[in-house]
Amino acid sequence: MADLNAGAEALVPRFELERVLNQDQGGRRTALYGHIDNQPALLTLERAPFPSSEAYLGRLPKSLARLQNLGINDVYTWYMARTAGEDDLERQQAQQAQQAATQDAATKRDREEGQEKEEEGNGPAQEAFFSDLKINLFYPCTKSHIKKYSKQSVRFVTETPEIYRDHIRPLMQSKRDEGSLNWVFNIIEGRTEVEDVIYRTQLGTAGVAGEEGFLLLPDLNWNRSTLEALHLLALVERRDIWSLRDLKKKHVPWLQHMKKKIIAATVQTYPSIEADQLKLYVHYQPTYYHLHIHVVHVAFEAGATQATGKAVGLESIIETLKVMAGDEEEAGMEAVSMSYTLGEASELWTRVFEPLKRSASATASQ
């Protein structure tokens, strides 16, 4: 059995690549065609899940071979990184041994000068940076961050217009008053991420009744290189629309015009992408209460953020607003029931839906 395993393990290093057949899951799974010992071979590569070992995970941030900062805004910082392979570990060990060696000043100075010349030539500093990790840092993090990213059971709830009016809207107001939108306003006002903005229409300079103002930039979860995993974010400049609940029939021309501008800006920035390869949607409930539109490539496999009960297509919102009864321009999304999923650790569950459920159960048992 041991010989059989050893023989199987020896095959992969002998694989010679001829061409890449496909990449999917945003580049996380790759199919390669080539040969082994002059015989055709197909090799599929897929990122394995992280080990659950706390010892391993605790060492991981300290053992990264390379870290590249992509941006910073308020408490949020995001990076691309490469984990340490055997070559990286050997290089680190050699450097540590070199630093620990006792040398006289002249010898040490000569060696440092030699190392600098090597780095300027063909040394590690000139190697292409191929990342295998996307890292987001929340520092200092809040209780809300911890709740959002903790493992928890999920509930499917229905938010009626009455629940929205009496419970959800006040909660939205309280979250906005806490300053949770500082990072959004930093972007809108040009204090941070200015170099990341790929398109901007100033508020009051274009659009319908001067209300078109929005900007488009990469979402912090995109690695900014894999186009089939494209994920952009459109932030509106106006601050009176917190979520899709604030959208009304009168906003249809504004939404249509903004959709057209977003798609045009995206395909102009990324010429290999065509308009019918893009999906536009909003979240409900959103992570933060300032209207923003997600723009993703259709090939990007839907995860939790695009699932039913979370993502609502922009075109679906526009069509819903169009067919609302009557000619009343003030008719809007606050008048419809919305169903969605939420975690049991979220404030929406603990402060709104769980108490409502208990109250309904108590009433039913009487």
List, by residue number, the catalytic residues: 292
State the DSSP string of 85-97: -HHHHHHHHHHHH
Q: Is 189 exposed, middle or buried (0-12, 13-18, 19+ CB in 10 A)?
A: exposed
In this structure, which long-range contacts are made by residues 344-351, counting pairs with CB atoms below 8 Å and at least 24 apart in sequence?
344/152, 344/153, 344/154, 344/155, 345/147, 345/148, 345/150, 345/152, 346/147, 346/148, 347/144, 347/147, 347/171, 348/157, 348/168, 348/171, 348/285, 349/155, 349/157, 351/167, 351/171
Q: Strand 311-313 and strand 292-297: pairing?
A: unpaired
Phi-psi region of 199 (alpha: psi -120 to 50; beta: other; left: phi over 0): beta
